[in-house]
Amino acid sequence: MEIDPFIFRLSIFILSIFIGYYVVWSVTPSLHTPLMSVTNAISSVIIVGAIIAALAGTSESIFNTSSIFGFMAIILAAINIFGGFLVTQRMLQMYKKKKHKKK
């Protein structure tokens, strides 16, 4: 009997939870705020679903009920992607080591 592809996706999901578990525990506590903003940014990869929905319209009807929701989701996700990565970058730029020149 063939294995349902769902089982493969489930396997990826469960293994990723484990990867997430170990990777996140190794994040230094001082970077927990950037961790939250970057997880925000990457979870907006949900934009792929929004793009598929938005592109589903035909050239006669670009905007149908389904694709309008897609377009709205694109805006929301794009705010998050750009905002999330850029604000993370801005924060990370500020973390500096002590300058050892003075001593």
Partner 1 sequence: MISANLAAIFYLVSGILFILALRGLSSPDTSRQGNYFGIAGMIIAIVVTFLSVGNFSTSLVYVIIFLVIGGVIGAFIAFKIPMTAMPELVAGFHSLVGLAAVFVAIAAFLNPSAFNLGNVGNIKLASLIEMSIGAAVGAITFSGSIIAFLKLRGIMSGAPITFSGQHILNLLLGIGIFVLIFYLCKTQSTNIFWTVIIISFLVGVLLIIPIGGADMPVVISMLNSYSGWAAAGIGFTLENTALIITGALVGSSGAILSYIMCKAMNRSFVSVILGGFGADNSNDDKKEKKDQKPVKSGNAEDAAFLMKNASSVIIVPGYGMAVAQAQHALREMVDKLKKNDIKVTYAIHPVAGRMPGHMNVLLAEANVPYDEVFELEDINNDFANSDVAFVIGANDVTNPVAKTDPKSPIFGMPVLDVEKCKSVLFVKRSLSPGYAGIDNELFYKDNTLMLFADAKKMTEDIVKNLD
Q: Which of residues 67-96 bind partner 1 (CB under 8 A)?
A: 67, 69-96
Q: Are 21 and 47 in contact (CB under 8 A)?
A: no
Does position 53 interact with partner 1 (CB under 8 A)? The reply is yes
Among 2, 3, 7, 25, binds partner 1 (CB under 8 A): 25
Element (H, E) at 41: helix 32-43
Among 2, 3, 28, 101, binds partner 1 (CB under 8 A): 28
Q: How far apart are CA 46 and CA 73, in angstroms?
A: 9
Min. distance of Cβ 3 from partner 1 in angstroms? 14
Q: Indicate the residue type of 40.
A: N
